[in-house]
Structure 1
């Protein structure tokens, strides 16, 4: 125990605020469009592997929930109309959460993670939430082992046929009021792996989803942003 205290004193504080530092130089965030450069050639739409890009009434629309930030659309754009930014705070709320939030905030928020068929990329990022750098518990948020003790489900992966029932049963076992967060492009859109007899689709095809966090996978900071956005703990930092 004494050696542990010595190590803590020597190391110092490593925990940081989720958005306190710059993102890595090679990080690919939100794709933005410079409309004046776009010529509606639609090369980007054809290059997108997940169908995240559409043209509606001649206007380019990007579905962040389906985007995996691969950069193919930018590579094929001959007019340099598309570009990556460092923006990762892309979480979106679905519907009105005020009533649920007021009930949940009487105590710490308890989360149950459920893997509905992921590649484990999002799961690795979620694991980092509990390390000393991100320290999710500093926000009064923690993971629990049972849905019966949870306030929120964090769903990762496209929902497979074999896990659809498990997701539905886990949702039913979670007491009201409850929230559901779709983590990553697979859970948020269900488009990454296309259509297959083994795939049911996005998380919202099985259970109602309250928060969508895009990314492939989303950074731990993006997950924390989504949680704090849902819990109305961002103060004046709302997008």
Structure 2
């Protein structure tokens, strides 16, 4: 018996159990920022907004209340907001499951009333259904058992690519979920795009999308692909992927770890549900 075969038998299965079991992120990992409404000092502080480089945190001032909004599609999870807030009204968790089918679902907020106290937006309780059950069932029927992905780098720094590469290692083992990468868009069910779309990549991105057969899905990976991130539209970049092709699922992060990528892909095919909702107070 070959030594590698014997070693494999002795080692046993090393692949992770996600999504059947939750994946524990290491201590200190910077994941989903959370807004604590009971701690926020309101419009008198603004320190978190001032240090936010990609402008993911913003204030909207009204006649009766001020609203602090957090856009996950722009957030790079740097942690500066947590460090700057004297009341710890913004903290980073280890939660990385942030994939959403609608870009609006990536924005959460809290309303700061005139007396300086925070409250939730009552309208947030009445959220629209994300997707009709019949459409979700159809997506699951078509893509739920096997999925082939064509990846397009539209101008990334290769941070997202390093995480994507990890999906095929023995631990994450994406193949066990029936998900595979393919070199041709003609054989792909899903177009996965990373990076802010640079102008030289606009036409190749459109061509890859048009070469795919229907039905097809598009997933934007990372803050740059979701919104442009720290790269607004300029003479060199066009911003988020949805400016060029329609996007079905957004996976925020800078870069999103393999677990976040797996969650987003499973959301895309209807095997998992998103865990955030538009406008909801993030506690």
Query: Does the 8 A contact of 1:114 with 1:155 survive in 2?
Result: yes
Query: Does the 8 A contact of 1:50 with 1:194 survive in 2?
Result: no
Deviation per CA, 1:134-159: give whole Å up to 9, x if none.
Answer: 11111111111100000001100010
Mark the CA change 1:106 to 1:86 in structure 2 (over 3 Å): closer, same or farther: closer
Structure 2 CA distance, aligned partners of 1:63 and 1:225?
19
Structure 1 CA distance, aligned partners of 2:138 and 2:159?
29
Q: Aligned to 2:238, what secondary structure does the other structure show?
A: strand
Alignment counterpart, residue 148 of structure 1, candidates 186, 208, 222: 186
Q: Aligned to 1:201, what secondary structure does the other structure show?
A: coil
Using the size of structure 2 for normalisation, the TM-score is 0.79
Q: Aligned to 1:168, what secondary structure does the other structure show?
A: helix
Segments of structure 2 that go 5 or more residues without pairing to the other structure are 103-129, 276-283
Look up the match of 1:38: 40
Deviation per CA, 1:97-126: give whole Å up to 9, x if none.
Answer: 527614533751100000000000000000
Query: Which structure has the bigger radius of gyration?
Result: 2
Alignment counterpart, residue 87 of structure 1, candidates 71, 95, 115: 95
Look up the match of 2:74: 66
Mark the CA change 1:4 to 1:198 in structure 2 (over 3 Å): closer, same or farther: same
Deviation per CA, 1:142-187: give whole Å up to 9, x if none.
Answer: 1111000000011000100111111111000111100000000000
Alignment counterpart, residue 198 of structure 1, candidates 227, 236, 245: 236
Alignment counterpart, residue 78 of structure 1, candidates 72, 82, 86: 86
Look up the match of 1:138: 176
Alignment counterpart, residue 55 of structure 2, candidates 51, 55, 77: 51
Aligned length: 237
More moved, 94-103 vs 109-118 = 94-103
Using the size of structure 1 for normalisation, the TM-score is 0.93
Q: Aligned to 1:159, what secondary structure does the other structure show?
A: coil
Mark the CA change 1:228 to 1:107 in structure 2 (over 3 Å): closer, same or farther: closer
Query: Does the 8 A contact of 2:189 with 2:217 survive in 1?
Result: yes
Structure 2 CA distance, aligned partners of 1:45 and 1:238?
26
Q: Aligned to 2:247, what secondary structure does the other structure show?
A: coil
More moved, 200-209 vs 95-104 = 95-104
